[in-house]
Amino acid sequence: MNRFLLPLSIFIVVVVFLGVGLKLNPREIPSPLVGKAAPDFSQPQLYDPATVFSPADLKGKVWLLNFWASWCSGCRTEHPVLMELAKSGEVPIFGMDYKDQRDEALAWLKRWGNPYPVVGVDDAGRVGINYGVYGVPETYVIDKQGVIRYKQIGPLDPDTVAKKILPLVKQLESQ
């Protein structure tokens, strides 16, 4: 090959990769838990600390697990989206109150509304560690067999709900 064409050829290869790279999101970190069984837990419930909340109770259902906290500003951004989704009744959203104070969490839900049928309490962050949570909010889609199918890092937005979460839920429901 003509050696004078070599720089151009290298450059073309780099441009192709950069072009592909534009479509990728380097901040998106794949969760090793997707496709694996959701880690088990049994945590006290926020509204009724005497009863426990455990994923085992939800076998046979498609559901969302949403890690949130009253101190988290991203959760505030996400909250209207969750309320909307809960109102539509498409899929139940179960909450996990992450490293939070009970009274503040209750006040927060009272003020902004409660989209969750049940909220678990993870005050020590143990459940968060098992699920690989590194920042709230995070949301997991869990199927009928209790397998994690999708993980959303950061707030859910209407677009993600409409284009990713709901189609996935429909598909999982039909299985």
Partner 1 sequence: MIPEIGHFALILALCVAVVQGILPIYGAAVGNSALMAVAKPAARGQFLLVLTAFCCLGYAFAEKDFSVLYVAATSNSQLPLHYRLAAIWGAHEGSLLLWTFILTIWMFAVTLFSAHLPDATRSRILGVMGLVSIGFLLFMLTVSNPFERLIPAALDGRDLNPLLQDPGMVIHPPMLYMGYVGFSVAFAFAIAALLGGNLDAAWARWSRPWTTVAWCFLTVGIAMGSGWAYYELGWGGWWFWDPVENASFMPWLAGTALVHSLAVTDKRGGFKVWTVLLAIMAFSLSLLGTFLVRSGVLTSVHAFATDPKRGLFILAFLAVVIGGSLALYAWRAPRVGLGGSFAMVSREGMLLANNVLLVAAMGSVLLGTLYPLFLDALDLGKISVGPPYFDSVFVPLMTPAIFLMGIGPLAQWKKASLPDLAKRLQWAFAVSVVTALALPVVMGNWTPLLSLGLLLAIWIATTAVVTLRERLAHVSGGSFIERLASVPRSYWGMLVAHCGIAVFIVGVTMVKGFESEKDVRMNVGETATIGDYTFRFDGTQDVVGPNYTAARGTFRVSLDGRETTVLYPEKRRYSVQNQVMTEAAIDPGLLRDLYVSLGEPLDDGAWSVRLYHKPFVDWIWGGCFIMALGGALAVSDRRYRIAWGRQKPAVPVSTGTARRKVA
Which residues form the interface with partner 1 (CB under 8 A)? 2, 4-5, 7-8, 11-12, 14-15, 17-27, 29-30
Nearer to partner 1, 73 or 88 (CB): 73
**DSSP assigned state of 121:** E
Burial class (CB in 10 A: 0-12, 13-18, 19+), 27: exposed
Question: Smallest distance from the beta carbon of 30 to partner 1, in angstroms?
Answer: 7
User: CB neighbours of 70 closer than 8 A, spacing ≥ 6?
Assistant: 97, 100, 101, 104, 105, 107, 108
Q: Least distance to partner 1 from the beta carbon of 156, Å?
A: 21
Min dist CB 1 to partner 1, Å, is 11
Q: Whose Cβ is closer to partner 1: residue 23's or residue 110's?
A: 23
Q: How far is the CB of 153 from partner 1 (least distance, A)?
A: 13
Determine the residue type at 123: D
Q: Give the nearer residue to partner 1 in terms of CB position, either 83 or 153.
A: 153
Inter-residue contact 99 to 122 (CB < 8 Å): yes
What DSSP state is assigned to residue 173? Answer: H
> Which residue number, 36 or 170, has a Cβ lying nearer to partner 1?
36
